[in-house]
Amino acid sequence: MEYDLIRKFQMECPICDEIHEIEMRTRIATTIIKGEEVKYKETYYFCSNCDEDENEFVNGKMQNENLMNARNAFRESHDLLTSNEIVAIRESYGLSQVDFARLLGWGEATISRYESKAIQDEAYDNILRIVKENPLAAYEYLQKNCDKFTAQKKFEIKDKIMENLDSFGREYLKRQALESEYVNYQDPCEANGNKNLDIDKLENIVSYFAEKIENLYKVKLMKMLWYADSLSFKTSHCSMTGLVYCHEPMGALPIGHYKIVGLENIKMQEEEGYEYTKYHFLPNNKLDKLCLSKDEIKILNRVINKFKSFSSADIVKYMHAETAYTETKDGEVIPFSLASEIRDF
């Protein structure tokens, strides 16, 4: 069975009861959750001193993490929030697990279970998404369930909601402006890489690129987004961002690119160039990187390693030679089916 070696170290092996070198490994494993077969990343220890029938073991922490990975893989396959995403929503309001459950009018242990063991159903998932995307909804829940909090606690929660609401107003309008560009692409299709527009992921990818590349400007960024989405589609038949790219003179360019630049969570500063204004992108350390999976980060790193030293002109020239560009015309949407022709790097 294929595996990746994480590290080697000395420890007392619980199988052979000897102190020797142990390997920590990861592999893709399969389990059954709710009657469905689920593939997930499993971490385990390997003892080379033992026979083939019994040479692997895990500790309690590793076992819990493996179970969590399996459940999150199931969640992702059903378009449900992962446990990490639920934690991020709760923490955005500065709430404990119990207080977040009280706010929503749920049993006090509900959030704790969703962050560790249980898989939420679609109805609960929808409520969590609403609260995540709209602080006004959280305020309405606070009004409805205010009797579950002391006056001081209610004031603290309201203050945090108002803080979120201040940035939400600006961000909401800018997100709506970008989403309006994608009204014709609301269902997964070949144009969007079988994925609906995911602004959270888009913001995180831009920030990640900016963190790794000091001088990241718009032309180069837009090409790197296309390469990231195309590599993702090539490997998993699904893009990362749900952006739709068109054939333009400067290469692939996403629909609504000017509105992407204006998103509230994308940090950018304008710089005066020789003939035009340049958009310099910067990392946003306030974003939750947990929305990027390990496999997605690997793809982003491949793109970074390839193009980090490229100038804007270099990456445009490189992209012009891709089949996805030569097989489309000016103004046409570049179908992700052509991503299979992308050059390996």
Checking if the pLDDT of 136 tops 90, the result is no
Mean pLDDT value across residues 71-79:
93
Q: Residues 322, 304: contact at Cβ < 8 Å?
A: no
Instruction: For residue 331, give the DSSP letter.
Output: T
Whether 308 has a pLDDT exceeding 70, the answer reads yes
**Residue in the structure block whose two tokens are 């290469």:** 251
Cβ count within 10 A of residue 166: 11
Nearest 5°: phi and psi at 267? -85, 125
Neighbours of 92 (CB within 10 A): 17
pLDDT tier, 123 (very low <50, low <70, confident <90, very high otherwise): very high
- What's the chain's average pLDDT? 92
Once rounded to an integer, what is the mean pLDDT over residues 320-328? Answer: 96
User: Does residue 272 have a pLDDT over 80?
Assistant: no
Domains in the chain: boundaries = 4-77, 83-180, 184-341
**Beta-ladder partners of 247:** 252
Identify which has the larger pLDDT, 111 or 345: 111
Which of the residue ranges 156-170, 175-189, 234-248 would you say has the lowest mean pLDDT? 156-170
Q: What percent of the chain has pLDDT over 90?
A: 79
pLDDT of residue 323: 95
Q: Are 6 and 43 in contact (CB under 8 A)?
A: yes
Please give the pLDDT value at position 244.
98
Q: How far is Cα 25 from Cα 132, in angstroms, rounded to an integer?
A: 35
Per-residue pLDDT, 165? 82
- The model's confidence at residue 275, banded by pLDDT at 50, 70 and 90, is low
- Alpha carbon distance 141, 145 (integer Å): 6
Burial 322-333 (b: 16+ CB within 10 A, else e): bebbeebeeeeb
Q: What share of the chain is helix, strand, coil (3-state, %, to 5)?
A: 50, 15, 30
The answer to whether residue 171 scores a pLDDT higher than 70 is: yes
Among 48-52, 103-107, 133-137, 256-260, the minimum mean pLDDT is found in 48-52
User: What average pLDDT does this structure show over 73-90?
Assistant: 93
139 within 8 A of 161, measured Cβ to Cβ: yes
Q: Please state the rounded mean pLDDT for residues 274-292.
A: 82
Are the C-beta atoms of residues 230 and 337 closer than 8 Å to each other?
no
- Which among 176, 188, 200 has a CA at the least distance from the CA of 296? 200
Say how far residue 183 (Cα) sits from the centre of its chain.
22
Find all residues with CB under 8 Å of 140, minimum gap 6, and list them.
none
Q: Report the alpha-carbon distance of residue 62 to residue 129 in Å, rounded.
A: 29
* pLDDT level of residue 274 (50, 70, 90 thresholds): low
Q: What percent of the chain has pLDDT over 70?
A: 98
**Token output for 127:** 């409520």
pLDDT value, residue 172: 80
